[in-house]
Chain A
């Protein structure tokens, strides 16, 4: 037996500082919660937001950092990681902000609620940073377990129970696919770290069926997490039953984190297998957009409608991944996720605004005549719906524009046509919300906004972002593209040009 070799440990504190802040913060919130009643859990919400903002500031400082790997290749540090850290922390902070009054009103157990929110954010950041399939998997589990519990947080509401159970069962099922895929890839390449896997791909002997089967299983696992068709069955029920702020976090945070890992594994490191997996993604993207939009058309519940809308948007992002051969595709996906985060968080905040304890007004009919009673709320909702529909000059428009032009760069004419037709179909159900609010009469009277300053703040931030990212897309698309390039910089072997 030899002495323990300390030099094996490659401690790099700087890249994991934001992670440490969130992890320790989650425990801190849990401890602080001992002193706070559930009815005034707002203070815990503010503490959570402060901690998340602190972590975000640290991530911002790391944003310009040189791409590097830490902890013996377990983590990738640099622009890509920092970009998704910021996105996830923003989504978590906004979720906490829209929960401040909601959680107190619904009597949710505040300490556990905010702690689980932070654990979920931690998992998402690990997924974005993971340069190693084990870290990505552990991040996914941290995130998923926290979200399962959050989805079922309203324990006396059967819909919430159903949401948690369905999400948990299908999530556990999909985890099996992911792990099986990781095992196959390990068997084929002899590594679980992304760079050695990529290096192994360029060796002629690795063109084997085991590797392709592993990649396929990985694709299914991620397909479940981003709710791509045909792995989307859980999404509408889970979205409808979960507490609305949690639904918002699922639609924005979970999706961003899953795409962070998905894009890093496939577009950055599995480039040599591009011709194989883009074929599968082509079909998946077309199906996801079409099924999501067609199903959204017939929904009468706004949370279900937004769930199908989220499925459709995952389809648009998959178009971007299918266009991996185009250099612009990576930046376009990252920009899309940013605009989508602001817009969708805003839309769900309006849904939260209409909800009170014991009065869940989440049917489309409840929105009738909202403009007359609450012009501010209705105008905000109209803005978010128009952005989701892709009306210029809002964030949603440029997101689609960049993705579709990347798809054309990659000569995906038919997929682009399908995507454009789908955008037109989607306008119908987004505009029907506007018609309900501005033309129809009836509906419900939401509680006064004046008593809910945090909700107003969430709405203002989301609306400002939706407009700003759309009106001035240049700085955002530049940093998105830069972030994607830095992920390529993490991969020293990246000289293989993607081709179809």
Chain B
């Protein structure tokens, strides 16, 4: 599918948009802008999935990540009082060391990408992948599929425990304050 020139052009446009929005997420000074830029980045990823003919994954990406997680994030940002007023809510910590790590990691990635003899998959006719995914989830991958629900249950119990309001605090409350 990516063989035609048009498909390649579309891929590069989508890739550029994704990386651009991702950079906005990382570098924007206001966390509200970051949250909105995340929508663009995740939509871009969905676009890549569509180009790869992964229809089900693309749909889930839009539904869950864009529709669910980002909306939740934006709600959390907006409902947290005064979080947008913080002048430097997204400040870089230790830019020197960070840059060094990024440069090193980038070099390794680039080297790995260029040196690897990539397996090129043969193009297949575009067909619904839902059937295969469903079969795999209830067949070969039934155990991981079931475990995933236990992960969610543990996360739910943990989240409720941490966030619920009861028992009057004996001391000065639960301010998450880092000790230096």
Residues of A that sit less than 8 Å from B by CB: 1, 4-5, 8-9, 16, 23, 27, 30, 71-72, 74-75, 107, 109, 112, 115-116, 119-120, 122-123, 126, 132, 134-135, 138-139, 141-142, 145-146, 148-150, 152-153, 155-159, 161-162, 164-165, 184, 187-188, 190, 205, 208-210, 212-213, 216, 358
30 pairs from A and B in contact (CB 8 Å cutoff)? A8-B135, A8-B139, A71-B143, A72-B140, A72-B141, A74-B140, A74-B143, A115-B157, A119-B154, A120-B154, A123-B154, A134-B141, A134-B144, A135-B144, A135-B147, A139-B147, A142-B151, A146-B154, A148-B158, A156-B169, A156-B170, A157-B171, A161-B176, A164-B162, A184-B112, A208-B115, A209-B111, A209-B112, A212-B112, A213-B112
Do A149 and B176 touch across chains, with their CB atoms under 8 A apart?
no
Give me 16 other A-B pairs in contact (C-beta within 8 A), A75-B143, A156-B169 excluded.
A1-B131, A30-B157, A72-B139, A74-B144, A115-B157, A132-B144, A134-B141, A134-B144, A141-B151, A142-B147, A149-B157, A149-B162, A156-B170, A156-B171, A209-B111, A213-B109
Q: How far is the CA of A150 from the CA of B175 in the complex (A)?
A: 17
Q: How far is the CA of A138 from the CA of B174 in the complex (A)?
A: 30
Q: Which partner residue on chain A sits nearest B178 by CB separation?
A: A162
Do B150 and A119 touch across chains, with their CB atoms under 8 A apart?
yes
Q: B4: CB under 8 A from chain A?
A: no
Do B144 and A5 touch across chains, with their CB atoms under 8 A apart?
no
Write out the residue numbers on chain B whose beta carbons fall within 8 Å of the beta carbon of A116: 154, 157-158, 161
Interface string of B159-180 (1 = CB under 8 A from A): 1111000010111111111110
Q: How far is the CA of A209 from the CA of B110 in the complex (A)?
A: 10
Q: Which partner residue on chain B sits nearest A152 by CB separation?
A: B162
Question: Which B103-149 residues have a C-beta within 8 angstroms of A?
Answer: 108-109, 111-113, 115-117, 119, 131, 135, 138-144, 147-148
B95 to chain A, nearest CB (A): 17
Q: How far is the CA of A155 from the CA of B173 in the complex (A)?
A: 8
Do B139 and A156 touch across chains, with their CB atoms under 8 A apart?
no
Q: How far is the CA of A58 from the CA of B139 in the complex (A)?
A: 26
Given contacts A1-B131, A115-B157, whether A209 and B176 have CB atoms under 8 Å apart is no
The 4 closest A-B pairs by CB, nearest first: A149-B158, A8-B139, A209-B115, A119-B154
A349 to chain B, nearest CB (A): 24
Do B135 and A122 touch across chains, with their CB atoms under 8 A apart?
no
Q: How far is the CA of A8 from the CA of B176 in the complex (A)?
A: 49
Write out the residue numbers on chain B whose beta carbons fall within 8 Å of the beta carbon of A155: 162, 174
Write out the residue numbers on chain B whose beta carbons fall within 8 Å of the beta carbon of A188: 116
B104 to chain A, nearest CB (A): 11
Write out the residue numbers on chain B whose beta carbons fall within 8 Å of the beta carbon of A16: 143
Q: How far is the CA of A31 from the CA of B109 in the complex (A)?
A: 48
Partner of B151, one of A138, A152, A161: A138
Considering residues B131, B154, B169, B179, which has the most beta carbons from chain A within 10 angstroms of its beta carbon? B154
A229 to chain B, nearest CB (A): 16
B167 to chain A, nearest CB (A): 7
Q: How far is the CA of A212 from the CA of B113 in the complex (A)?
A: 11
Write out the residue numbers on chain A whose beta carbons fall within 8 Å of the beta carbon of B111: 209
Q: How far is the CA of A135 from the CA of B140 in the complex (A)?
A: 12
Residues of B that sit less than 8 Å from A by CB: 108-109, 111-113, 115-117, 119, 131, 135, 138-144, 147-148, 150-151, 153-155, 157-162, 167, 169-179
Total residue contacts A-B, CB cutoff 8 A: 124
Q: Which partner residue on chain B sits nearest A38 by CB separation?
A: B167
Q: How far is the CA of A157 from the CA of B176 in the complex (A)?
A: 9
Q: How far is the CA of A5 from the CA of B141 in the complex (A)?
A: 14
B89 to chain A, nearest CB (A): 16
Q: Which partner residue on chain B sits nearest A129 by CB separation?
A: B143
Q: How far is the CA of A146 from the CA of B158 in the complex (A)?
A: 6
Do A158 and B144 touch across chains, with their CB atoms under 8 A apart?
no
A277 to chain B, nearest CB (A): 15
Considering residues A115, A132, A158, A164, which has the most beta carbons from chain B within 10 angstroms of its beta carbon? A158
Q: Which partner residue on chain B sits nearest A156 by CB separation?
A: B169
Q: How far is the CA of A243 from the CA of B171 in the complex (A)?
A: 17
Q: How far is the CA of A27 from the CA of B153 in the complex (A)?
A: 9
Do B131 and A210 touch across chains, with their CB atoms under 8 A apart?
no
Do B112 and A158 touch across chains, with their CB atoms under 8 A apart?
no
Q: How far is the CA of A23 from the CA of B143 in the complex (A)?
A: 13
Q: How far is the CA of A109 from the CA of B158 in the complex (A)?
A: 11
B154 to chain A, nearest CB (A): 4
Q: How far is the CA of A1 from the CA of B127 in the complex (A)?
A: 12
Partner of A71, one of B142, B154, B174: B142
Partner of B159, one of A8, A72, A149: A149
Write out the residue numbers on chain B whose beta carbons fall within 8 Å of the beta carbon of A216: 108
Do B176 and A165 touch across chains, with their CB atoms under 8 A apart?
yes
A203 to chain B, nearest CB (A): 11
Do B161 and A149 touch across chains, with their CB atoms under 8 A apart?
yes
Partner of A162, one of B159, B170, B179: B179
Q: How far is the CA of A205 from the CA of B171 in the complex (A)?
A: 63
Write out the residue numbers on chain A whose beta carbons fall within 8 Å of the beta carbon of B142: 9, 71
Do B175 and A158 touch across chains, with their CB atoms under 8 A apart?
yes
Do A190 and B119 touch across chains, with their CB atoms under 8 A apart?
yes
Q: Which partner residue on chain A sits nearest B170 by CB separation?
A: A156
A77 to chain B, nearest CB (A): 12
Write out the residue numbers on chain A whose beta carbons fall within 8 Å of the beta carbon of B162: 149, 152, 155, 164
A10 to chain B, nearest CB (A): 8
Q: How far is the CA of A16 from the CA of B171 in the complex (A)?
A: 45
Q: How far is the CA of A420 from the CA of B151 in the complex (A)?
A: 41
B57 to chain A, nearest CB (A): 14
Considering residues A123, A159, A210, A358, which has the most beta carbons from chain B within 10 angstroms of its beta carbon? A210
Q: How far is the CA of A75 from the CA of B142 in the complex (A)?
A: 11
Partner of A9, one of B138, B147, B153: B138
Q: Which partner residue on chain B sits nearest A140 by CB separation?
A: B151
Partner of A8, one of B140, B155, B167: B140
Given contacts A148-B158, A155-B174, A190-B119, whether A138 and B144 have CB atoms under 8 Å apart is yes
